[in-house]
Amino acid sequence: MPLKHITAAEAKRLVDDGALLIDIRETNEYAAENIPGARNAPLSRLGAGATVGDAPVIVFHCKSGARTRMNAHALANCADAEAYILDGGIEAWKNAGLPVKRG
């Protein structure tokens, strides 16, 4: 199932309603800056058959949205849930004035 693209505001609403936010950036990127409450699941560690969580709704993000778009099919296979891509990644989240936690 293709992942739907959503804005930062839509992602925030979903997260507030219980969606699981998955940061697919590498561990060092996540450690330097992340969205509070996001779970880190680096794309480099997601292999065949991997699952990222058991929430009914999952929102994937990276830095700018490029990695999530390029790997949407693989990410969809890791989510046994309704799943979305945060367009613009953490950068769009910050540009929307939403909180981030720095290293």
The closest alpha carbon to 38, from 48, 29, 50, 47, belongs to 29
Residue 41 has pLDDT above 80, yes or no: yes
Model confidence, pTM = 0.93
DSSP string, 11-52: HHHHHHTTPEEEE-S-HHHHHHEE-TTPEE--GGG--TT---
The residues annotated with a catalytic role in the active site are 62
85 with 65: CB under 8 angstroms? yes
Please give the residue range of the domain that contains residue 39.
4-102
Per-residue pLDDT tens digits for 42-95? 988 876 556 777 789 999 999 999 999 999 988 988 888 899 999 999 999 999
> Which CATH number does the domain housing residue 34 bear?
3.40.250.10
Rama region for 84: left / alpha / beta (φ>0; ψ in -120 to 50; rest): beta
Residue 81: per-residue pLDDT: 87
What average pLDDT does range 3-10 have in this prediction? 96
Number of domains forming the structure of the chain: 1
